Chain A
Amino acid sequence: MSRRAELAATALIGAALVAVAAGATALGAAGRVFARPVVIEASSPAQAYAAWKAAGIRGRILVHLDRRLVTDAVPLSHGIEDLDPRVDDGNFVVAGILSGRVREIFHVVPDAAWDDVRANLARRARTSALVVADGPRFRTAIRSVPVTITRLRDLPPLRERVLVDLNTAVWPPAALAGLEADVTVTYRRDPT
Protein backbone atom coordinates (compact mmCIF):
# COMPACT_ATOMS: atom_id res chain seq x y z
CA MET A 1 0.00 0.00 0.00
CA SER A 2 2.76 2.38 1.04
CA ARG A 3 4.79 1.58 -2.09
CA ARG A 4 1.76 2.21 -4.29
CA ALA A 5 1.07 5.45 -2.53
CA GLU A 6 4.68 6.54 -3.01
CA LEU A 7 4.49 5.73 -6.70
CA ALA A 8 1.25 7.68 -6.99
CA ALA A 9 2.81 10.66 -5.19
CA THR A 10 5.85 10.46 -7.45
CA ALA A 11 3.67 10.47 -10.54
CA LEU A 12 1.57 13.34 -9.25
CA ILE A 13 4.62 15.44 -8.45
CA GLY A 14 6.13 14.73 -11.87
CA ALA A 15 2.85 15.72 -13.48
CA ALA A 16 2.75 18.89 -11.37
CA LEU A 17 6.22 19.88 -12.52
CA VAL A 18 5.30 19.31 -16.16
CA ALA A 19 2.04 21.21 -15.66
CA VAL A 20 3.77 24.20 -14.07
CA ALA A 21 6.39 24.32 -16.82
CA ALA A 22 3.72 23.99 -19.50
CA GLY A 23 1.57 26.59 -17.77
CA ALA A 24 4.52 28.98 -17.54
CA THR A 25 5.25 28.51 -21.24
CA ALA A 26 1.61 29.05 -22.17
CA LEU A 27 1.33 32.13 -19.96
CA GLY A 28 4.50 33.52 -21.51
CA ALA A 29 3.18 32.99 -25.03
CA ALA A 30 -0.15 34.56 -24.13
CA GLY A 31 1.64 37.50 -22.53
CA ARG A 32 3.39 38.43 -25.78
CA VAL A 33 0.89 40.48 -27.77
CA PHE A 34 1.87 41.49 -31.33
CA ALA A 35 0.34 43.99 -33.73
CA ARG A 36 -0.06 44.57 -37.43
CA PRO A 37 3.10 46.13 -38.91
CA VAL A 38 3.15 49.90 -38.72
CA VAL A 39 5.89 52.51 -39.24
CA ILE A 40 5.52 55.85 -37.51
CA GLU A 41 7.63 58.94 -38.10
CA ALA A 42 7.40 60.59 -34.72
CA SER A 43 8.22 64.15 -33.80
CA SER A 44 9.58 63.06 -30.42
CA PRO A 45 10.85 59.80 -28.84
CA ALA A 46 8.03 59.77 -26.29
CA GLN A 47 5.56 59.13 -29.10
CA ALA A 48 6.94 55.60 -29.25
CA TYR A 49 5.12 54.91 -25.99
CA ALA A 50 1.87 56.24 -27.45
CA ALA A 51 2.41 54.07 -30.53
CA TRP A 52 2.94 50.94 -28.41
CA LYS A 53 -0.20 51.70 -26.46
CA ALA A 54 -2.25 52.35 -29.59
CA ALA A 55 -1.04 49.08 -31.11
CA GLY A 56 -2.06 47.20 -27.96
CA ILE A 57 1.24 45.34 -27.71
CA ARG A 58 2.47 43.65 -24.50
CA GLY A 59 5.46 41.66 -23.26
CA ARG A 60 7.75 42.53 -26.15
CA ILE A 61 11.39 42.84 -27.15
CA LEU A 62 12.47 46.39 -27.98
CA VAL A 63 15.37 47.09 -30.33
CA HIS A 64 16.52 50.63 -29.60
CA LEU A 65 18.80 52.12 -32.23
CA ASP A 66 20.26 55.28 -30.77
CA ARG A 67 23.47 56.60 -29.30
CA ARG A 68 22.02 56.51 -25.80
CA LEU A 69 19.38 54.58 -23.92
CA VAL A 70 17.82 57.21 -21.68
CA THR A 71 16.18 55.61 -18.65
CA ASP A 72 14.95 58.43 -16.46
CA ALA A 73 12.56 57.38 -13.73
CA VAL A 74 8.87 57.96 -14.22
CA PRO A 75 7.84 60.36 -11.44
CA LEU A 76 5.51 58.13 -9.47
CA SER A 77 4.95 58.74 -5.79
CA HIS A 78 3.51 55.33 -4.88
CA GLY A 79 4.83 53.36 -7.84
CA ILE A 80 1.47 52.17 -9.11
CA GLU A 81 -0.36 55.21 -10.42
CA ASP A 82 -1.41 55.95 -14.00
CA LEU A 83 1.71 56.25 -16.14
CA ASP A 84 0.38 57.99 -19.22
CA PRO A 85 0.43 61.64 -18.10
CA ARG A 86 3.99 61.27 -16.86
CA VAL A 87 5.68 59.90 -19.98
CA ASP A 88 8.31 62.07 -21.67
CA ASP A 89 11.33 61.74 -23.96
CA GLY A 90 13.59 60.74 -21.07
CA ASN A 91 11.46 57.99 -19.56
CA PHE A 92 9.40 56.45 -22.35
CA VAL A 93 11.45 53.24 -22.29
CA VAL A 94 11.01 52.90 -18.53
CA ALA A 95 7.31 53.61 -18.96
CA GLY A 96 7.24 50.79 -21.51
CA ILE A 97 8.76 48.49 -18.89
CA LEU A 98 6.47 49.61 -16.07
CA SER A 99 3.38 49.19 -18.23
CA GLY A 100 4.36 45.63 -19.17
CA ARG A 101 4.86 46.47 -22.86
CA VAL A 102 8.64 45.90 -22.93
CA ARG A 103 10.23 42.80 -21.38
CA GLU A 104 13.71 42.86 -22.94
CA ILE A 105 15.84 45.51 -24.66
CA PHE A 106 18.59 45.42 -27.25
CA HIS A 107 20.37 48.76 -27.40
CA VAL A 108 22.13 49.03 -30.75
CA VAL A 109 24.93 51.58 -30.66
CA PRO A 110 26.26 53.26 -33.86
CA ASP A 111 29.68 51.94 -34.90
CA ALA A 112 31.19 55.42 -34.62
CA ALA A 113 30.34 55.54 -30.91
CA TRP A 114 31.12 51.90 -30.06
CA ASP A 115 34.69 52.40 -28.87
CA ASP A 116 33.56 54.98 -26.31
CA VAL A 117 30.60 52.87 -25.22
CA ARG A 118 32.71 49.71 -24.97
CA ALA A 119 35.35 51.48 -22.87
CA ASN A 120 32.71 52.91 -20.53
CA LEU A 121 30.96 49.59 -20.11
CA ALA A 122 34.19 47.64 -19.65
CA ARG A 123 35.13 50.03 -16.86
CA ARG A 124 31.73 49.60 -15.22
CA ALA A 125 31.90 45.82 -15.60
CA ARG A 126 35.06 45.83 -13.48
CA THR A 127 33.40 47.72 -10.64
CA SER A 128 29.72 46.79 -10.77
CA ALA A 129 27.90 43.48 -10.91
CA LEU A 130 25.16 45.19 -12.86
CA VAL A 131 27.21 45.22 -16.08
CA VAL A 132 28.62 42.03 -17.63
CA ALA A 133 30.77 41.59 -20.72
CA ASP A 134 29.19 38.91 -22.90
CA GLY A 135 31.42 38.22 -25.90
CA PRO A 136 31.24 41.23 -28.22
CA ARG A 137 28.25 42.57 -26.29
CA PHE A 138 27.51 43.83 -22.79
CA ARG A 139 24.54 42.92 -20.62
CA THR A 140 22.88 44.87 -17.85
CA ALA A 141 19.37 45.28 -16.47
CA ILE A 142 16.90 48.07 -15.97
CA ARG A 143 14.30 47.30 -13.31
CA SER A 144 14.75 43.54 -13.80
CA VAL A 145 14.46 43.87 -17.59
CA PRO A 146 17.57 42.51 -19.31
CA VAL A 147 19.37 44.95 -21.61
CA THR A 148 21.94 43.90 -24.18
CA ILE A 149 24.20 46.64 -25.57
CA THR A 150 25.70 45.80 -28.92
CA ARG A 151 26.75 46.89 -32.38
CA LEU A 152 24.30 46.12 -35.17
CA ARG A 153 26.64 43.48 -36.64
CA ASP A 154 26.70 41.66 -33.27
CA LEU A 155 22.95 41.75 -32.71
CA PRO A 156 22.03 38.10 -32.00
CA PRO A 157 19.23 36.40 -33.92
CA LEU A 158 15.97 37.56 -32.40
CA ARG A 159 13.42 34.91 -31.60
CA GLU A 160 10.32 36.88 -32.56
CA ARG A 161 9.05 40.05 -34.15
CA VAL A 162 10.25 43.10 -32.27
CA LEU A 163 9.47 46.71 -31.49
CA VAL A 164 11.95 49.11 -33.04
CA ASP A 165 12.71 52.71 -32.31
CA LEU A 166 15.38 54.46 -34.32
CA ASN A 167 16.99 57.85 -34.04
CA THR A 168 17.50 59.08 -37.60
CA ALA A 169 20.16 61.52 -36.38
CA VAL A 170 22.56 58.60 -35.81
CA TRP A 171 21.10 55.69 -37.79
CA PRO A 172 19.98 55.58 -41.44
CA PRO A 173 16.62 53.89 -42.01
CA ALA A 174 18.55 51.20 -43.91
CA ALA A 175 19.61 49.87 -40.51
CA LEU A 176 16.09 48.47 -40.17
CA ALA A 177 16.60 46.15 -43.11
CA GLY A 178 17.38 42.97 -41.18
CA LEU A 179 14.83 43.49 -38.44
CA GLU A 180 11.41 41.89 -38.45
CA ALA A 181 9.33 44.45 -36.60
CA ASP A 182 5.66 45.17 -36.12
CA VAL A 183 5.76 48.62 -34.50
CA THR A 184 8.59 50.78 -35.84
CA VAL A 185 9.01 54.34 -34.62
CA THR A 186 11.56 56.73 -36.05
CA TYR A 187 12.38 60.07 -34.53
CA ARG A 188 15.16 62.61 -34.66
CA ARG A 189 16.98 63.51 -31.45
CA ASP A 190 20.31 65.23 -30.88
CA PRO A 191 22.63 62.32 -30.01
CA THR A 192 24.52 64.31 -27.40
Chain B
Amino acid sequence: MRRALALGVLLVAAYLRLRALDALPAPFWDEWLHAPTAVNYASRGLIDPDDWWHPPLQHLVRAAGIALLGDGPLGYRMPSVVFGLAAVALVVLLARRLTDDPLAPWVAGALLAADPLHVVLSRSSAEEVVVGTLMLGAVVLALEALDRPFPWAVPLGLALGLTMATKWYYAGAAAVVAGAVAVASWRRGERGAARVAYLLACLGALPVATYLASYLPWFAAGHSLREWWQLQLDMSRMVRAVRADMGSAVFAPSRSALDWFTRPVAMGVRPEGPGAPVVLFLTAFPLTLLVLPAVAWAGWSGVRRGSAPRLVVAGVFAVTWLPLLLVRRPIYVYSATSLLPYAWTLVAVGAGEAVARSRRSPRWLAALAVAALVAGLALFPVLAGTGDPGVLRPLVRAVPTSPGF
Protein backbone atom coordinates (compact mmCIF):
# COMPACT_ATOMS: atom_id res chain seq x y z
CA MET B 1 0.00 0.00 0.00
CA ARG B 2 2.86 2.37 0.86
CA ARG B 3 4.52 1.89 -2.53
CA ALA B 4 1.27 2.47 -4.36
CA LEU B 5 0.65 5.63 -2.34
CA ALA B 6 4.19 6.89 -2.95
CA LEU B 7 3.83 6.32 -6.67
CA GLY B 8 0.47 8.06 -6.67
CA VAL B 9 1.86 11.08 -4.80
CA LEU B 10 4.78 11.51 -7.17
CA LEU B 11 2.68 11.09 -10.30
CA VAL B 12 -0.10 13.42 -9.16
CA ALA B 13 2.41 16.04 -7.93
CA ALA B 14 4.13 16.04 -11.30
CA TYR B 15 0.87 16.00 -13.29
CA LEU B 16 -0.67 18.90 -11.37
CA ARG B 17 2.44 21.03 -11.77
CA LEU B 18 3.62 20.19 -15.28
CA ARG B 19 0.49 19.51 -17.30
CA ALA B 20 -0.39 22.40 -19.65
CA LEU B 21 2.14 24.64 -17.89
CA ASP B 22 2.18 27.01 -20.84
CA ALA B 23 -1.60 27.03 -21.34
CA LEU B 24 -1.94 30.46 -19.76
CA PRO B 25 -0.46 33.03 -22.12
CA ALA B 26 2.34 35.15 -20.68
CA PRO B 27 2.37 37.50 -18.96
CA PHE B 28 0.02 36.09 -16.37
CA TRP B 29 -0.29 37.70 -12.93
CA ASP B 30 3.06 39.35 -12.04
CA GLU B 31 5.09 37.88 -14.88
CA TRP B 32 5.13 41.33 -16.48
CA LEU B 33 7.25 42.41 -13.46
CA HIS B 34 9.15 39.19 -12.85
CA ALA B 35 10.54 38.52 -16.32
CA PRO B 36 12.13 41.93 -17.02
CA THR B 37 13.47 42.18 -13.48
CA ALA B 38 15.13 38.78 -13.83
CA VAL B 39 16.86 39.92 -17.01
CA ASN B 40 17.68 43.38 -15.63
CA TYR B 41 19.15 41.98 -12.41
CA ALA B 42 21.20 39.21 -13.99
CA SER B 43 22.58 41.45 -16.73
CA ARG B 44 22.80 44.88 -15.05
CA GLY B 45 22.35 44.39 -11.31
CA LEU B 46 19.19 46.46 -11.43
CA ILE B 47 16.22 45.43 -9.25
CA ASP B 48 13.59 46.89 -11.54
CA PRO B 49 10.66 46.99 -12.21
CA ASP B 50 9.77 44.50 -9.41
CA ASP B 51 9.77 45.62 -5.75
CA TRP B 52 13.33 46.57 -4.82
CA TRP B 53 12.67 46.03 -1.10
CA HIS B 54 12.84 42.24 -1.43
CA PRO B 55 16.21 40.45 -1.65
CA PRO B 56 17.36 39.45 -5.13
CA LEU B 57 17.98 35.69 -5.31
CA GLN B 58 14.46 35.20 -6.71
CA HIS B 59 15.49 37.23 -9.77
CA LEU B 60 18.51 35.01 -10.37
CA VAL B 61 16.34 31.89 -10.07
CA ARG B 62 13.94 33.27 -12.68
CA ALA B 63 16.85 34.36 -14.86
CA ALA B 64 18.10 30.76 -14.79
CA GLY B 65 14.67 29.57 -15.94
CA ILE B 66 14.64 32.09 -18.77
CA ALA B 67 18.21 31.19 -19.77
CA LEU B 68 17.36 27.49 -19.89
CA LEU B 69 13.83 27.50 -21.31
CA GLY B 70 13.50 30.83 -23.05
CA ASP B 71 11.74 34.16 -22.54
CA GLY B 72 8.26 32.69 -22.28
CA PRO B 73 5.80 30.89 -20.00
CA LEU B 74 7.94 27.78 -19.48
CA GLY B 75 11.03 29.82 -18.62
CA TYR B 76 9.10 31.96 -16.17
CA ARG B 77 7.23 29.13 -14.42
CA MET B 78 9.54 26.12 -14.48
CA PRO B 79 11.66 27.18 -11.47
CA SER B 80 8.55 27.09 -9.29
CA VAL B 81 7.60 23.69 -10.72
CA VAL B 82 11.01 22.27 -9.81
CA PHE B 83 10.93 23.75 -6.31
CA GLY B 84 7.30 22.69 -5.88
CA LEU B 85 8.13 19.08 -6.66
CA ALA B 86 11.15 19.25 -4.36
CA ALA B 87 8.85 20.52 -1.61
CA VAL B 88 6.70 17.38 -1.89
CA ALA B 89 9.77 15.18 -1.51
CA LEU B 90 11.08 17.26 1.41
CA VAL B 91 7.76 17.07 3.23
CA VAL B 92 7.96 13.28 3.07
CA LEU B 93 11.48 13.43 4.56
CA LEU B 94 10.34 15.90 7.22
CA ALA B 95 7.41 13.72 8.30
CA ARG B 96 9.71 10.69 8.47
CA ARG B 97 11.69 12.50 11.15
CA LEU B 98 8.55 13.06 13.21
CA THR B 99 6.90 9.64 13.13
CA ASP B 100 7.61 5.94 12.75
CA ASP B 101 4.35 5.44 10.88
CA PRO B 102 5.27 4.19 7.39
CA LEU B 103 2.24 5.76 5.69
CA ALA B 104 2.05 9.18 7.38
CA PRO B 105 5.00 10.72 5.45
CA TRP B 106 3.34 9.87 2.14
CA VAL B 107 0.05 11.26 3.41
CA ALA B 108 1.89 14.51 4.12
CA GLY B 109 3.31 14.36 0.61
CA ALA B 110 -0.15 13.79 -0.84
CA LEU B 111 -1.67 16.70 1.08
CA LEU B 112 1.01 19.08 -0.19
CA ALA B 113 1.13 17.61 -3.70
CA ALA B 114 -2.60 18.24 -4.17
CA ASP B 115 -2.97 21.42 -2.14
CA PRO B 116 -4.75 23.85 -4.50
CA LEU B 117 -2.78 26.89 -3.39
CA HIS B 118 0.56 25.08 -3.63
CA VAL B 119 -0.35 23.80 -7.08
CA VAL B 120 -1.26 27.27 -8.39
CA LEU B 121 1.84 28.90 -6.93
CA SER B 122 4.01 26.03 -8.23
CA ARG B 123 2.75 26.85 -11.72
CA SER B 124 3.54 30.55 -11.48
CA SER B 125 6.56 32.83 -11.53
CA ALA B 126 5.86 33.96 -7.95
CA GLU B 127 8.69 33.36 -5.49
CA GLU B 128 6.50 31.89 -2.75
CA VAL B 129 7.17 28.23 -3.57
CA VAL B 130 10.88 28.81 -4.19
CA VAL B 131 11.48 30.47 -0.84
CA GLY B 132 9.15 28.05 0.94
CA THR B 133 11.06 25.06 -0.40
CA LEU B 134 14.43 26.55 0.53
CA MET B 135 13.19 27.05 4.10
CA LEU B 136 11.69 23.57 4.13
CA GLY B 137 15.08 22.22 3.12
CA ALA B 138 16.63 24.18 5.97
CA VAL B 139 14.17 22.64 8.45
CA VAL B 140 14.91 19.10 7.22
CA LEU B 141 18.63 19.77 7.54
CA ALA B 142 18.13 21.32 10.97
CA LEU B 143 16.49 18.13 12.24
CA GLU B 144 19.61 16.24 11.18
CA ALA B 145 21.86 18.88 12.72
CA LEU B 146 20.04 18.64 16.05
CA ASP B 147 21.82 15.33 16.65
CA ARG B 148 24.87 15.81 14.45
CA PRO B 149 25.88 19.43 14.01
CA PHE B 150 28.84 18.25 12.00
CA PRO B 151 28.50 18.16 9.06
CA TRP B 152 24.78 19.05 8.84
CA ALA B 153 25.06 22.60 10.13
CA VAL B 154 27.06 23.48 6.99
CA PRO B 155 24.27 22.80 4.44
CA LEU B 156 21.80 24.18 6.99
CA GLY B 157 23.63 27.53 7.02
CA LEU B 158 23.71 27.54 3.23
CA ALA B 159 19.96 26.84 3.05
CA LEU B 160 19.20 29.58 5.57
CA GLY B 161 21.26 32.06 3.56
CA LEU B 162 19.52 31.09 0.33
CA THR B 163 16.13 31.43 2.03
CA MET B 164 16.81 34.88 3.41
CA ALA B 165 18.29 35.95 0.05
CA THR B 166 14.97 35.11 -1.60
CA LYS B 167 12.48 36.69 0.80
CA TRP B 168 12.44 37.73 4.44
CA TYR B 169 9.29 35.72 5.23
CA TYR B 170 11.20 33.24 7.31
CA ALA B 171 13.45 35.38 9.49
CA GLY B 172 11.71 34.10 12.63
CA ALA B 173 11.77 30.50 11.43
CA ALA B 174 15.48 30.79 10.63
CA ALA B 175 16.09 31.96 14.19
CA VAL B 176 14.08 29.01 15.54
CA VAL B 177 16.01 26.34 13.64
CA ALA B 178 19.40 27.94 14.24
CA GLY B 179 18.58 28.39 17.92
CA ALA B 180 17.35 24.80 18.24
CA VAL B 181 20.59 23.40 16.81
CA ALA B 182 22.69 25.61 19.07
CA VAL B 183 20.66 24.77 22.19
CA ALA B 184 20.71 21.03 21.45
CA SER B 185 24.49 21.12 21.13
CA TRP B 186 24.83 23.18 24.32
CA ARG B 187 22.59 20.81 26.29
CA ARG B 188 24.76 17.88 25.27
CA GLY B 189 27.66 19.67 26.92
CA GLU B 190 29.39 20.54 23.65
CA ARG B 191 30.60 23.91 24.85
CA GLY B 192 34.20 24.03 23.66
CA ALA B 193 35.49 26.99 21.73
CA ALA B 194 35.83 24.92 18.56
CA ARG B 195 32.17 23.89 18.61
CA VAL B 196 30.96 27.41 19.42
CA ALA B 197 33.07 28.84 16.60
CA TYR B 198 31.83 26.14 14.22
CA LEU B 199 28.18 26.86 14.97
CA LEU B 200 28.70 30.61 14.72
CA ALA B 201 30.37 30.11 11.37
CA CYS B 202 27.67 27.77 10.04
CA LEU B 203 24.63 29.58 11.41
CA GLY B 204 25.93 33.14 11.25
CA ALA B 205 28.78 33.71 8.84
CA LEU B 206 27.68 31.24 6.16
CA PRO B 207 24.12 32.63 5.81
CA VAL B 208 25.55 36.15 5.69
CA ALA B 209 28.08 35.18 3.03
CA THR B 210 25.37 33.45 0.99
CA TYR B 211 23.02 36.39 1.34
CA LEU B 212 25.76 38.84 0.38
CA ALA B 213 26.71 36.71 -2.63
CA SER B 214 23.18 37.04 -3.99
CA TYR B 215 23.91 40.76 -4.36
CA LEU B 216 27.04 40.32 -6.51
CA PRO B 217 25.26 41.53 -9.70
CA TRP B 218 24.13 44.59 -7.72
CA PHE B 219 27.70 45.26 -6.56
CA ALA B 220 28.89 44.91 -10.14
CA ALA B 221 26.69 47.92 -10.96
CA GLY B 222 29.13 50.03 -8.95
CA HIS B 223 27.81 49.75 -5.40
CA SER B 224 29.88 49.53 -2.22
CA LEU B 225 29.40 47.59 1.01
CA ARG B 226 28.36 50.83 2.75
CA GLU B 227 25.64 51.35 0.13
CA TRP B 228 24.56 47.73 0.54
CA TRP B 229 24.06 48.25 4.25
CA GLN B 230 22.01 51.38 3.58
CA LEU B 231 19.93 49.39 1.10
CA GLN B 232 19.21 46.76 3.77
CA LEU B 233 18.03 49.49 6.15
CA ASP B 234 15.82 50.99 3.44
CA MET B 235 14.40 47.55 2.59
CA SER B 236 13.60 46.93 6.23
CA ARG B 237 11.79 50.26 6.42
CA MET B 238 9.77 49.50 3.31
CA VAL B 239 8.82 45.97 4.39
CA ARG B 240 7.56 47.27 7.74
CA ALA B 241 5.59 49.98 5.99
CA VAL B 242 3.84 47.75 3.44
CA ARG B 243 0.20 48.65 3.29
CA ALA B 244 -2.81 47.17 1.62
CA ASP B 245 -2.73 49.78 -1.11
CA MET B 246 0.79 48.77 -2.17
CA GLY B 247 -0.44 45.57 -3.81
CA SER B 248 -3.49 44.37 -5.60
CA ALA B 249 -6.50 44.13 -3.29
CA VAL B 250 -7.72 41.28 -5.48
CA PHE B 251 -5.36 38.98 -3.60
CA ALA B 252 -6.70 39.83 -0.16
CA PRO B 253 -10.00 37.95 0.04
CA SER B 254 -9.52 37.07 3.71
CA ARG B 255 -9.62 39.52 6.56
CA SER B 256 -6.83 37.86 8.47
CA ALA B 257 -4.44 34.93 8.40
CA LEU B 258 -6.74 33.20 10.90
CA ASP B 259 -9.23 32.67 8.06
CA TRP B 260 -6.84 30.37 6.23
CA PHE B 261 -7.42 27.61 8.79
CA THR B 262 -10.90 28.38 10.03
CA ARG B 263 -13.08 29.02 6.97
CA PRO B 264 -13.06 28.64 3.19
CA VAL B 265 -10.85 31.16 1.44
CA ALA B 266 -11.18 31.28 -2.31
CA MET B 267 -10.86 33.76 -5.11
CA GLY B 268 -10.40 33.66 -8.81
CA VAL B 269 -8.42 35.89 -11.10
CA ARG B 270 -8.33 36.41 -14.82
CA PRO B 271 -6.37 38.86 -16.91
CA GLU B 272 -8.50 41.75 -18.13
CA GLY B 273 -10.23 41.16 -21.43
CA PRO B 274 -13.06 39.03 -22.74
CA GLY B 275 -12.65 35.28 -22.77
CA ALA B 276 -9.48 35.37 -20.67
CA PRO B 277 -8.69 32.19 -18.73
CA VAL B 278 -9.51 31.99 -15.02
CA VAL B 279 -7.26 30.69 -12.26
CA LEU B 280 -8.62 29.96 -8.80
CA PHE B 281 -6.62 30.55 -5.64
CA LEU B 282 -8.22 28.54 -2.84
CA THR B 283 -7.28 26.86 0.37
CA ALA B 284 -7.95 23.15 0.90
CA PHE B 285 -11.02 23.68 3.05
CA PRO B 286 -12.35 21.66 4.93
CA LEU B 287 -9.03 19.82 5.40
CA THR B 288 -7.56 23.12 6.60
CA LEU B 289 -9.71 22.81 9.73
CA LEU B 290 -7.32 20.05 10.86
CA VAL B 291 -4.26 22.30 10.78
CA LEU B 292 -4.50 24.29 14.00
CA PRO B 293 -5.44 21.25 16.15
CA ALA B 294 -2.54 19.35 14.56
CA VAL B 295 -0.06 22.13 15.31
CA ALA B 296 -1.30 22.40 18.90
CA TRP B 297 -1.08 18.65 19.30
CA ALA B 298 2.46 18.60 17.87
CA GLY B 299 3.56 21.28 20.30
CA TRP B 300 1.96 19.51 23.23
CA SER B 301 3.30 16.07 22.30
CA GLY B 302 6.70 17.59 21.60
CA VAL B 303 6.86 19.02 25.12
CA ARG B 304 5.48 15.88 26.73
CA ARG B 305 7.87 13.53 24.92
CA GLY B 306 10.79 15.93 24.82
CA SER B 307 10.74 15.66 21.01
CA ALA B 308 12.85 18.49 19.65
CA PRO B 309 11.89 17.76 16.00
CA ARG B 310 8.19 18.19 16.73
CA LEU B 311 8.83 21.37 18.68
CA VAL B 312 10.97 22.75 15.88
CA VAL B 313 8.33 22.11 13.20
CA ALA B 314 5.49 23.46 15.35
CA GLY B 315 7.72 26.43 16.26
CA VAL B 316 8.53 27.17 12.63
CA PHE B 317 4.81 27.16 11.84
CA ALA B 318 4.02 29.43 14.80
CA VAL B 319 6.73 32.04 14.25
CA THR B 320 5.97 32.22 10.53
CA TRP B 321 2.23 32.50 11.06
CA LEU B 322 2.26 34.91 13.99
CA PRO B 323 3.48 38.04 12.13
CA LEU B 324 0.97 37.35 9.36
CA LEU B 325 -1.73 36.92 11.98
CA LEU B 326 -0.91 40.22 13.67
CA VAL B 327 -0.57 42.34 10.56
CA ARG B 328 -3.21 45.08 10.48
CA ARG B 329 -4.24 44.95 6.87
CA PRO B 330 -5.99 42.49 4.55
CA ILE B 331 -3.59 39.63 4.03
CA TYR B 332 -2.68 38.22 0.64
CA VAL B 333 -3.96 34.66 0.27
CA TYR B 334 -0.76 33.46 -1.39
CA SER B 335 1.16 34.20 1.83
CA ALA B 336 -0.51 31.06 3.23
CA THR B 337 1.83 29.05 1.00
CA SER B 338 4.64 29.71 3.48
CA LEU B 339 2.87 27.55 6.07
CA LEU B 340 1.59 24.66 3.99
CA PRO B 341 4.54 22.23 4.25
CA TYR B 342 4.52 22.36 8.06
CA ALA B 343 0.73 22.37 8.26
CA TRP B 344 0.33 19.22 6.15
CA THR B 345 3.28 17.46 7.80
CA LEU B 346 1.76 17.91 11.24
CA VAL B 347 -1.74 16.98 10.03
CA ALA B 348 -0.43 13.74 8.51
CA VAL B 349 1.68 12.83 11.53
CA GLY B 350 -1.23 13.59 13.87
CA ALA B 351 -3.65 11.62 11.73
CA GLY B 352 -1.23 8.69 11.71
CA GLU B 353 -1.06 8.65 15.49
CA ALA B 354 -4.82 9.02 15.81
CA VAL B 355 -5.38 6.03 13.52
CA ALA B 356 -2.81 3.97 15.37
CA ARG B 357 -4.28 4.80 18.79
CA SER B 358 -7.80 3.99 17.70
CA ARG B 359 -6.51 0.69 16.29
CA ARG B 360 -8.19 1.37 13.01
CA SER B 361 -6.86 0.04 9.74
CA PRO B 362 -4.07 2.10 8.09
CA ARG B 363 -6.43 2.21 5.13
CA TRP B 364 -8.14 5.15 6.88
CA LEU B 365 -4.90 7.05 6.65
CA ALA B 366 -4.43 6.08 3.02
CA ALA B 367 -7.99 7.19 2.34
CA LEU B 368 -7.14 10.70 3.53
CA ALA B 369 -4.27 10.85 1.06
CA VAL B 370 -6.32 9.43 -1.79
CA ALA B 371 -9.14 11.89 -1.10
CA ALA B 372 -6.67 14.79 -1.25
CA LEU B 373 -5.13 13.54 -4.49
CA VAL B 374 -8.52 12.98 -6.14
CA ALA B 375 -9.70 16.45 -5.07
CA GLY B 376 -6.55 17.97 -6.51
CA LEU B 377 -7.07 16.21 -9.82
CA ALA B 378 -10.72 17.27 -9.91
CA LEU B 379 -9.79 20.90 -9.32
CA PHE B 380 -6.95 20.87 -11.83
CA PRO B 381 -8.75 22.66 -14.69
CA VAL B 382 -9.52 25.70 -12.54
CA LEU B 383 -6.06 25.70 -10.95
CA ALA B 384 -4.35 25.59 -14.34
CA GLY B 385 -6.69 28.01 -16.07
CA THR B 386 -7.80 25.43 -18.58
CA GLY B 387 -11.38 24.96 -17.40
CA ASP B 388 -14.51 26.84 -16.49
CA PRO B 389 -14.87 27.71 -12.80
CA GLY B 390 -18.55 26.76 -12.90
CA VAL B 391 -20.26 27.43 -9.57
CA LEU B 392 -17.14 29.23 -8.35
CA ARG B 393 -17.43 31.90 -11.07
CA PRO B 394 -18.84 34.55 -8.67
CA LEU B 395 -15.45 34.51 -6.93
CA VAL B 396 -13.63 35.58 -10.04
CA ARG B 397 -12.29 39.09 -10.40
CA ALA B 398 -10.10 40.62 -13.03
CA VAL B 399 -6.46 41.27 -12.20
CA PRO B 400 -5.96 44.99 -12.85
CA THR B 401 -2.19 45.02 -12.54
CA SER B 402 -0.98 43.09 -15.57
CA PRO B 403 -0.47 45.54 -18.41
CA GLY B 404 1.30 42.96 -20.54
CA PHE B 405 4.58 43.21 -22.37
Interface status of A38 (Cβ within 8 A of chain B): no
- Are A132's CB and B237's CB within 8 A? yes
How would residues 188 to 212 of chain B score, 1 for a CB under 8 Å from any chain A CB and 0 otherwise?
Answer: 0000101101100110011011001
Chain B residues with a Cβ closer than 8 Å to the other chain, count: 51
Interface status of A144 (Cβ within 8 A of chain B): yes
Interface status of B221 (Cβ within 8 A of chain A): yes
- Are B151's CB and A31's CB within 8 A? no
Q: A86: shortest Cβ distance to chain B, in Å? A: 14
Q: Inside 8 A of B242's CB, which chain A residues have their CB?
A: 129
**Contacting A100 at CB < 8 Å: which of B46, B209, B231, B404?**
B46
Q: B390: shortest Cβ distance to chain A, in Å? A: 35
Binds A, one of B36-44, B288-296, B354-362: B36-44
Instruction: Give B contacts to A, CB under 8 Å.
Output: 35-37, 39-40, 43-49, 52, 150-151, 154, 157, 192, 194-195, 197-198, 201-202, 205-206, 208-209, 212-213, 215-216, 219-225, 227-228, 230-231, 234, 237-238, 240-242, 404-405
Known: A24-B219, A32-B222, A143-B52. A79 touches B40 (CB 8 A): yes
Instruction: Give A contacts to B, CB under 8 Å.
Output: 2-3, 5-7, 9-10, 13-14, 16-17, 20-21, 23-25, 27-28, 30-33, 58-60, 76-80, 97-100, 103-104, 129-130, 132, 139, 141, 143-144, 146
**Contacting A7 at CB < 8 Å: which of B37, B40, B194, B206?**
B194
- Are A60's CB and B40's CB within 8 A? no
Closest to A33 in B: B222
Q: Inside 8 A of A100's CB, which chain B residues have their CB?
A: 44-46, 221-222
- Are B230's CB and A146's CB within 8 A? yes
Closest to A78 in B: B405
- Are A103's CB and B405's CB within 8 A? no
Q: Inside 8 A of B240's CB, which chain A residues have their CB?
A: 129
A80 to B220, CA, bound (A): 18
- Are B201's CB and A13's CB within 8 A? yes
Known: A16-B206, A27-B220. A10 touches B194 (CB 8 A): yes
